[in-house]
Homo-oligomer: A and B are copies of this chain.
Amino acid sequence: MASQQEIAAFIAAEFPQTRVRILEVGDKSATVAHEIGRAELRPGGTVSGPVLMATADVALYVAILGELGIVPLTVTTSLSFNFMRKPSADRRILGVCKLLKLGRTLAVGEVSLYSEGLPEPVAHAVGTYAIPPVDRSGAGS
């Protein structure tokens, strides 16, 4: 397991452009928030789809790291999204992830995405991640 600070440092290094912050992590779950500014908006006042997708991807990754510790080679193998409501232009996007499975080689989790403070999710995602084999030789990485 890794602490929230360790995970935040790792995410900042691995995803240097990300505007996602970790709010909570632990107990097979994670909550993250994506800042929203002009770069994240579309005309008409809504959040662009890739912002939602990036938030879900990071939320899942953070929840996995919270259980496994820092495992840099973990890779997203699939992500499915359903977009349900128009996000608000002036609220952060929250991603609330719950892991459904954490196996030896595969993790599966779901993420509900919200405009902060509003009760109904704007989108929902399910993702799977491949976990690299553990090196038990002691050489470490």
State whether the Cβ of A108 lies closer than 8 Å to any Cβ in chain B: yes
Residues of chain B within 8 A (CB-CB) of A15 are 42, 48
A124 CB contact (under 8 Å) in B49, B75, B126: B126
State whether the Cβ of A39 lies closer than 8 Å to any Cβ in chain B: yes
A105 CB contact (under 8 Å) in B103, B105, B108: B105
Q: Are A54 and B49 in contact (CB under 8 A)?
A: yes
Q: Are A39 and B17 in contact (CB under 8 A)?
A: yes
Known: A42-B14, A42-B15, A124-B108. A81 touches B82 (CB 8 A): no
Known: A57-B50, A124-B110. A78 touches B75 (CB 8 A): no
Residues of chain B within 8 A (CB-CB) of A13 are 43
Residues of chain B within 8 A (CB-CB) of A82 are 77-78, 100-101, 108, 126, 128
Q: In whole angstroms, how far apart are the Cα atoms of A49 and B112 in the complex? A: 19
Q: How far is the CB of A108 from chain B (nearest CB, A)?
A: 5
Residue interface bits A1-35, CB-to-B below 8 A is 1, else 0: 00000000000011111000000000000000000
A interface residues, Cβ below 8 angstroms from B:
13-17, 39, 42-43, 48-50, 53-54, 57, 75-85, 100-101, 103, 105-106, 108, 110, 112, 120-121, 124, 126, 128, 130
